Amino acid sequence: MWFLGIDIGTTHLKVVGVLENGEVLAAQRCRTPFSERDGLTFHEGEAIWQALVGLIGDYARHASAAGGLLAGISVGTFGQEESLAVDAQGNQTWPSLAWWQNYAAPSLSADDSAWLDTPEHYAISGLRLRSNQTPERLSHLRQHHPDRWRKTDKWVDFGSYVMWRLTGNWCVSASQINHSQCFDVRSLKPHGATLERLALEPSLFPRIAETGELCGEISNSALPGVALAPGAAVYVGGHDQIMGAYAVQSTRPTDVFDSIGTSEYLMTISRLYQPEAIAWQLGIDYERSWRAGEFMMGYANPSGKIIQTLSELFFAGDFDRLFQALAGQKGGEEVRVSLAQESGGQGLFTLHDVEAGATPGSMVCSVLDHIAFHMRHVLAHMCELGAINVQDAVLMGSLFQREEMLAHRSSCWGMPLFVSELAEPVATGAATIAREAWLDRGVSA
């Protein structure tokens, strides 16, 4: 038997199989389908589902054929910020606006926005307000498409949607639901004052389930041509960052993870929930981890996008030349840097006091120095909040696999850093969760 992990990502859909003995199979991927209207990018539920059915069917026929029958599936996906509106039959009433985009004008009132971004509300939801979250997106749907809103029965992230297509059951991962800002991250109960203020019903959201919990058995008609084991089931996954951290933790135990793609996301695990003033000021996210009663603190910075911008500004988009220049620098003292993430300004970063003779290499080094020290500063606060005695950190993502980037970050952080060798940590983590949940279910049976 074998187990399938699905990663629904911004650019690609990915699948990884894990055999009953724990052996990880090669990954397979396809492009994440999207649609465009009025200059905006959307993800459609049916398009993503059909792409997954094709990808899983091909994977079952080839990469995982030696594994025999499929016994379990789990799903990791981008945050609940990307959600679909569906009717009582599960048909899409409105697509998901891509997480990195916003509508032309806000629909949420200024008073409601301010209230949702207070330290008091942060202490409940665990997140600062962002313009791509449920309150703003549902306000837009209600105001601009009232006919679609009247037909809407559920608001579901893509993990929930795919689990429903596989089983006919609705549920949402505990690591996703507080991204809606409508639930208490500690109790996982609906927050009545928020729902009342936004005129939303708790039934709009699926049943909350912990990572690894049984969602339901896979329908025989869900995956044509895929041979299913008796009792083959879907087990709840969660937010992609949580799934990736779970996979890494399984191979190299640590309390600190740093994942870099377009965005860099720094994470720490703790059983403490302390949403103090400094956490609110820095914009640290709290969400549930893969273990019940445990929290993951997270902090996002657009480091990957900044590196891409530097490569385009100074090296015609050539990353190799950028990292060669970085390796040849001893320091970036010629240029002062500020990040928009720190100041709340526009854009990505600003260079100050650039003097004659400053080279592309010195400017790159100055920016990457600043990013590294900023992230280490945030990590220190996260460890203090979580009572974590940091010993080391595990790095994920292709940029950290570059020797120059690893050497630079190690020098700036002054602590042991290890690069994960997992090619697809999110899908691997999801498949491992399905396998372990199946084994636990078998033992209890």
Tens-of-pLDDT digits for all 445 residues of the chain? 999 999 999 889 999 999 999 999 999 999 999 999 999 999 999 999 999 999 999 999 987 777 899 999 999 998 888 999 999 999 999 999 998 889 999 999 999 999 999 999 999 999 999 988 999 999 999 999 999 999 999 999 999 999 999 999 999 999 999 999 999 999 999 999 999 999 999 999 999 999 999 999 999 999 999 999 999 999 999 999 999 999 999 888 999 999 998 889 999 999 999 999 999 999 999 999 999 899 999 999 999 999 999 999 999 999 999 999 999 877 655 688 999 877 777 788 999 888 888 889 989 999 999 999 999 999 999 999 999 999 899 999 889 999 999 999 999 999 999 999 898 999 999 999 999 999 998 744 4
pLDDT for the residue numbered 428: 96
Q: Which residue has the tokens 């974590």?
A: 388
What percentage of the chain carries pLDDT values higher than 90? Answer: 83
Long-range pairs of 368-372 with CB within 8 A, sequence gap ≥ 24: 368/307, 368/326, 368/332, 368/408, 369/331, 369/332, 369/337, 369/408, 369/412, 370/332, 370/337, 370/338, 370/339, 371/264, 371/301, 371/303, 371/306, 371/339, 372/408, 372/409, 372/412, 372/413
238-251 pLDDT, tens per residue? Answer: 999 999 999 999 88
The domain ranges of the chain are: 2-241+425-444, 254-419
Please check whether residue 14 is in contact with residue 28, taking contact to mean a CB–CB distance below 8 angstroms. yes
What is the per-residue burial (b if ≥16 Cβ within 10 Å, else e) of 249-265?
bbbeebbbbbbbbebbb
| Number of continuous H segments (helices) and E segments (strands) in the chain | 16, 23
Q: Which of 240, 249, 268, 241 is nearest to 376 (CA)?
A: 268
The superfamily (CATH) of domain 254-419 is: ATPase, nucleotide binding domain (3.30.420.40)
CATH architecture group of domain 2-241+425-444: 2-Layer Sandwich (3.30)
Contacts of 63 (CB under 8 A, 6+ apart): 17, 25, 26, 28
Q: Rg for the chain (alpha carbons), in Å?
A: 22
Which has the closest alpha carbon to 33: 25, 44, 24, 17?
Answer: 44
Q: Could you tell me the two tokens for 29?
A: 């991927």
Q: What are phi and psi of 46, to 5 degrees?
A: -65, -40
Q: Do domains 2-241+425-444 and 254-419 have the same CATH topology?
A: yes
